[in-house]
Amino acid sequence: TGLTAAMPGVLLGDVFPNFEADTTIGKIQFHDFLGDSWGILFSHPRDFTPVCTTELGRAAKLSGEFARRSVKMIALSIDSVQDHLAWSKDIVAYNGEAPDSTLPFPIIADEKRELAVQLGMLDPDEKDKDGIPLTARCVFVIGPDKKLKLSILYPATTGRNFDEILRTVDSLQLTAQKRVATPVDWKLGDSCMVLPNIPEDEAAKLFPAGVYTKDLPSGKKYLRYTPQP
pLDDT averaged over 10-residue windows placed end to end, the chain, 229 residues: 48 95 97 98 90 95 97 94 95 94 95 87 76 81 97 88 96 97 97 96 95 96 96
Residue 27, SS3?
Answer: strand
- 8 Å CB contact between 75 and 25: no
pLDDT at residue 8, as a whole number: 56
Domains annotated on the chain, with CATH:
14-175 (3.40.30.10), 179-226 (3.30.1020.10)
Q: Which of 21, 34, 41, 52 is catalytic?
A: 52
**pLDDT for 4:** 37
| pLDDT value at residue 34 | 98
Query: How far, in Å, CA of 113 to CA of 136, rounded?
Result: 12
Residue 72: helix, strand or coil by DSSP?
strand
Alpha-carbon distance 101 to 60, whole Å? 11
Largest CA distance in the chain: 63
pTM for this model (two decimals):
0.90
Pairwise CA distance, residues 199 & 221, whole Å: 11
Q: Determine the Cα–Cα distance for residues 46 and 41; give it in Å rounded to an integer.
A: 15
Q: Count the Cβ atoms, other than its own, within 10 Å of residue 142.
A: 25
Q: Is 52 a catalytic residue?
A: yes
pLDDT at residue number 5: 37
